[in-house]
Amino acid sequence: MTKLLDNHDSNKAIAIWLLICCATIFGMVVLGGVTRLTGSGLSMVQWAPLMGILPPLNQEAWQHTFYLYQQYPEFQLKNFHMSLDEFKAIFWFEYAHRLLGRGIGLLFFIPFMYFLLTRKIDKALTPKLLTLFVLGGLQGLMGWYMVKSGLVDNPHVSQYRLTAHLTLAIIIYAYMFWIALDLLRPKERSAIRVNEPKLTRLASIITTVIFITIVSGGFVAGTRAGFAFNTFPLMNGQLIPDGLFLLEPFWRNFFENIITVQFDHRVLATLLFLIIPAFWLKTRKLELEAMTHISIYVLLAALALQITLGISTLLMIVPVALAAAHQGGAVMLLTAALFVNHQLRSQ
């Protein structure tokens, strides 16, 4: 009995730690959006994972950092008029983004080593946490790989690398959140199991569509498609706009044609607007646990918020605050969907 209580307490502590990490990753995703929207992402042209923690501390150091920036296409082709003070404004966003990334690494690594050395981690949990650690390291490499794409000839980050960077962050977040939920509430049999297989399938479909919509949003951001067709629900006065398949080969339209990229994002959002309320209606009169019903209402509320933020961001031509909130709202919607899925599987 004492051992079971110890395991329960350890799992709860590990779950709380993972949820704190999730919160910081959420902040990282939002800050990454702000960094991109303010044009700050290419201001730090060197990658020093261990030694690059301190910012410039005096005027000479600032001049040197600015000089390095001046050697690259973004300054030479786009920001050639920029003063040192203006450079500082964009530098701090990217610096904060990288510093938070390092902070998340430490926030994960130090408690992980403590839990590991004190043998508080179950054998089945260890490979999951090691996987998260490896994915976190890959995410740092992916971030620099993304930045490098804008330091060559064209001062514009590849939408493919940007979306890969965002997608990996979402995968890490989702996996970590799910592990925390497993630790807080392991699967158990319950007397309340009405139509669970069908509901679980539908919840999984909803979560998959949310994930694909987030990936689609990465391409919207990477191609700056949100700055075009700033009307809703029509695009250039049409429900299905002309020019959806202008590029050859055909597949490029889905990733490089701003008309298709924005249209796809709208279609996916509309699909969520239809299937999530349908899911809610289907569950209203079913005998489910109270927390499961609450989680579905939270999912519905998160959808309403996200749709409002998305349309507002589009109509107001992508203001930084709204666009960053929309990016954060996507993670909140995914979180709600994951929680619904876990509730259905654990009752």
65-89 pLDDT, tens digit per residue, is: 999 999 999 999 999 999 999 999 9
Give the residue from 250, 244, 248 showing the smallest Cα distance to 265: 244
**227: DSSP letter:** G
Q: Please check whether residue 67 is in contact with residue 98, taking contact to mean a CB–CB distance below 8 angstroms.
A: no
What's the pLDDT tens digit per position in 122-175? 999 999 999 999 999 999 999 999 999 998 888 889 999 999 999 999 999 999
Other CB atoms within a 10 A radius of the CB of residue 42 amount to 24
Q: Give the three-state DSSP class for 249.
A: coil
Asked if the model's pLDDT at residue 9 lies above 60, the reply is: yes
Lowest mean pLDDT among 17-26, 93-102, 302-311: 93-102
168 vs 164: CA distance, rounded Å: 6
Kindly calculate the radius of gyration of the chain based on its CA atoms and give it in whole angstroms.
22
Segment 36-56 mean pLDDT: 82
Other CB atoms within a 10 A radius of the CB of residue 271 amount to 14
Give the residue from 333, 48, 73 showing the smallest Cα distance to 214: 333
The confidence band for 195, taking pLDDT boundaries of 50, 70 and 90, is low
pTM equals 0.93
**235: DSSP letter:** B
The confidence band for 244, taking pLDDT boundaries of 50, 70 and 90, is very high
Segment 21-42 mean pLDDT: 95
Asked if the model's pLDDT at residue 239 lies above 60, the reply is: yes
Q: Please check whether residue 149 is in contact with residue 161, taking contact to mean a CB–CB distance below 8 angstroms.
A: yes
Reply yes or no: is the peptide bond before residue 186 cis, omega within 30 of 0: no
pLDDT value for 185: 86
Residues with Cβ within 8 Å of 196's Cβ and at least 6 positions away in sequence, in order, are 344, 347
